[in-house]
């Protein structure tokens, strides 16, 4: 038992609280936020090393033994996600220095980001299903504030809808937990898993599995529950949009992955349901991403496609496809963060998000253009960039499970993804220079996007280095016994 795994939750919590006290001193806030996230990143790196050497790490809060108290569990999946979360938050905060208005910045912006991180990282590392709900609420509460911060009309309108959707989803979450509790009589995820295999595949468990799918599907935006996402995300300013797009939906995906791999791994019905839904999600996301001329909307619909791909890989549920899914999940968080930050620079330069009024950015901003081009290729999964490895493994896994239609749809979706982002490149960077293109200093704004794109290139080229970590993560998901054993110490 090591308390190390609590630090990624505690550091942002303390930072968030401290930042409230001097919310007017922007420079100090910036330095402090960056510092705290850097510490978090270092701690998470050493945590990953520890998990690799010594297996899954657990901490029982207040020393209550495992099935009774709340357990914080960190296996490879959650540790990798925590690391990626911190990296993205780091870049979004750098972007916020120039990319967000002073008025927003001086009203608790940085401290709310820290609270958002508490929620996200907590949800990634908790081992208790009700505690997961609590961390979800922490994350959501912070996201409500971030979404409405600035008080413009669009934001108010969309935040109301976003909150109502999420309040209903939270109610469903508690209902699902209540049903689960009445069946298995415990909240500890490892113990639930053990009890469920004792209870056997009763029909009520399928009902609970579908309820969980609805709850997490609403957060993770899978078909048919993604209706709220394009509108709400579109209202947010760029750095917040990047945080949301890269992190929030992925928490939903992670929760589906965690609960399904631990609780319902024997229930083939829900897995095939998940597979079908994720394929429809891919198709609708692809259609949405080529339908719009608005750069924000295009990338937002690409989130939906990516969620579909990740969950499709997960629903196939064999070693290869799970490795692929985790690869793709990490890749997608980074590349989506990068793309949002890069289109943010484009919007900053031209003052519009509509592609019709952009054009010819290449001449004045060659670095932006080529970074975006790399990110676009990475998103579509052109080798040797980061999307390729994940997609290849997902498709390979689907072939092993002889799901040919599914793999065909995933391959086809890459083409549409490529089309949608290359459209931004062609219309935005090539062609006649539009009148909207101003000469503005963009060096600070461009830096975080470049960092993320470089990281994504590294993931692609250095896949060999990362693969032991990621296959360990896939192994964690595939064999719930390890997780149970680590938590319950049997």
Partner 1 sequence: MEFLMAFIIGILFMCATYLILSKSLLRIIIGTGLLSHGVHLLLLTMGGLKKGAAPLLGQHAESYADPLPQALILTAIVISFGVTSFLLVLAYRTYQELGTDNMEKLRGKKYE
To the nearest 10°, the Cα dihedral for 338, 301, 114, 31?
30
> Which among 141-149, 248-256, 296-304, 481-489 is the span making contact with partner 1, rule CB under 8 A?
141-149
Provide the minimum distance between the beta carbon of 427 and partner 1 in the complex, in angstroms, as a whole number.
Answer: 21
Binding mask 147-176 for partner 1 (x = CB under 8 A): -x--x-x--xx-xxx-xx--xx-xx--xx-
Cβ distance to partner 1 smaller for residue 116 or 246: 116
* Structure tokens that stand for 354 in this block: 């509509």
- Minimal distance, residue 358 CB to partner 1, in Å: 19
Residue 341 CA to residue 338 CA, distance in Å, equals: 5
Helix or strand run (H / E) with residue 285: helix 268-291
Shortest Å, Cβ 234 to partner 1? 9
Side-chain half-sphere CA neighbours of 113 within 13 A: 31
Provide the b/e sequence for 448-478 (b: ≥16 CB within 10 Å).
bbbbbbebbbebbeebeebeebbbbbbbbbb
> Which SS3 state, helix, strand or coil, does residue 153 take?
helix
Note whether 28 binds partner 1 by CB under 8 A.
no
Residue 286: CB minimum distance to partner 1, A: 22
Task: Pick between residue 119 and residue 237 the one whose CB is nearest to partner 1.
Answer: 119
How many residues interact with partner 1 (rule CB under 8 A)? 30
**Which residue in 7, 97, 130, 399 binds partner 1 (CB under 8 A)?**
130
For partner 1, the closer CB: 186 or 321: 186
Compare residues 187 and 379 and give the one whose CB is closer to partner 1.
187
CB of 102 to partner 1, least distance (A): 21
* Strands 71-74, 57-60: pairing kind: antiparallel
Instruction: Report DSSP state, residue 434.
Output: P
Report residue 378 as tokens.
């990475």
Rounded CA-CA distance 105/22 in Å is: 12
Nearer to partner 1, 211 or 280 (CB): 211
CB of 227 to partner 1, least distance (A): 12
Of the two residues 179 and 348, which places its CB atom closer to partner 1 in the complex?
A: 179
Three-state secondary structure call for residue 116: helix
Residue ranges in 176-215 that form contacts with partner 1 under rule CB under 8 A: 177-179, 181-182, 187
Give the shortest CB-191-to-partner 1 separation in angstroms.
13
Element of type H or E holding 74: strand 71-74
Q: How far is the CB of 294 from partner 1 (least distance, A)?
A: 11
Stretch that binds partner 1, among 133-141, 220-228, 241-249, 368-376 (CB under 8 A): 133-141
Q: What CA dihedral angle connects 279, 281, 285 and 287, to 10 degrees?
A: 60
Position among 69, 201, 231, 360 found at the interface with partner 1 (CB under 8 A)? 231
The 8 Å CB, 24+ separation contacts for 79-82 are 79/5, 79/44, 79/47, 79/48, 79/51, 79/125, 80/48, 80/326, 80/330, 80/469, 80/470, 80/473, 81/124, 81/250, 81/254, 81/329, 81/330, 81/333, 82/8, 82/44, 82/47, 82/121, 82/124, 82/125
Interacting span for partner 1 (CB under 8 A) from 134-142, 215-223, 358-366, 427-435: 134-142
Q: Rounded to 5 degrees, what angle do the CA atoms 374, 378, 383 make? A: 105
The residues that touch partner 1, with contacts defined as CB under 8 A, are 130, 133-134, 137, 140-141, 144, 148, 151, 153, 156-157, 159-161, 163-164, 167-168, 170-171, 174-175, 177-179, 181-182, 187, 231
């Amino acid at each position: 038992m090591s308390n190390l795994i609590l630090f990624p939750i505690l550091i942002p919590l303390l930072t968030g609280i401290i930042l409230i006290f001097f919310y007017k001193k922007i420079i100090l806030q910036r330095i402090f936020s960056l510092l705290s996230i850097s510490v978090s990143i270092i701690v998470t790196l050493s945590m990953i090393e520890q998990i690799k050497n010594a297996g899954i790490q657990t901490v029982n809060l207040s020393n209550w033994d495992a099935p009774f108290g709340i357990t914080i569990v960190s296996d490879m999946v959650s540790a990798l996600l925590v690391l990626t979360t911190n990296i993205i938050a780091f870049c979004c905060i750098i972007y916020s220095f120039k990319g967000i208005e002073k008025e927003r910045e001086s009203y608790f912006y940085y401290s709310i980001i820290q609270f958002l991180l508490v929620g996200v990282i907590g949800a990634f590392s908790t081992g208790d299903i009700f505690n997961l709900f609590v961390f979800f609420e922490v994350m959501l509460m912070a996201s409500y504030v971030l979404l409405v911060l600035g008080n413009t009309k669009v934001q108010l309108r969309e935040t109301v809808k976003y909150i109502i959707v999420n309040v209903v989803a939270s109610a469903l979450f508690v209902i699902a937990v209540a049903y689960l509790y009445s069946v298995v009589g415990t909240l500890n995820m490892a113990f639930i898993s053990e009890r469920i295999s004792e209870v056997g595949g009763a029909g009520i468990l399928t009902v609970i599995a579908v309820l969980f799918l609805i709850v997490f599907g609403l957060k993770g935006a899978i078909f048919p529950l993604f209706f709220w996402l394009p509108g709400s995300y579109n209202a947010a300013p760029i750095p917040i949009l990047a945080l949301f797009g890269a992190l929030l939906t992925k928490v939903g995906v992670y929760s589906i992955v965690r609960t399904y791999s631990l609780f319902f791994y024997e229930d083939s019905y829900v897995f095939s349901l998940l597979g079908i839904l994720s394929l429809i999600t891919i198709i609708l996301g692809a259609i949405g991403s080529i339908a719009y001329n608005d750069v924000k909307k295009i990338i937002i619909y690409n989130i939906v496609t990516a969620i579909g791909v990740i969950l499709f890989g997960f629903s196939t549920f064999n070693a290869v496809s799970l490795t692929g899914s985790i690869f793709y999940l990490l890749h997608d968080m980074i590349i989506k963060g990068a793309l949002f930050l890069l289109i943010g620079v484009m919007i900053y330069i031209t003052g519009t998000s509509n592609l019709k009024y952009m054009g010819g950015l290449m001449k004045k901003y060659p670095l932006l253009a080529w970074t975006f081009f790399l990110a676009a290729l990475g998103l579509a999964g052109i080798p040797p960039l980061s999307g390729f490895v994940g997609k290849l493994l997902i498709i390979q896994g689907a072939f092993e499970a002889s799901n040919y239609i599914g793999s065909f749809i995933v391959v086809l979706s890459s083409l549409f993804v490529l089309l949608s982002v290359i459209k931004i490149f062609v219309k935005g960077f090539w062609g006649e220079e539009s009148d909207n293109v101003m000469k503005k200093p963009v060096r600070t704004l461009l830096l975080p996007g470049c960092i993320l794109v470089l990281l994504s290139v590294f993931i692609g080229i250095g896949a060999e280095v990362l693969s032991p970590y990621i296959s360990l993560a896939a192994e964690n998901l595939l064999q719930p016994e390890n997780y149970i054993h680590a938590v319950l110490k049997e």
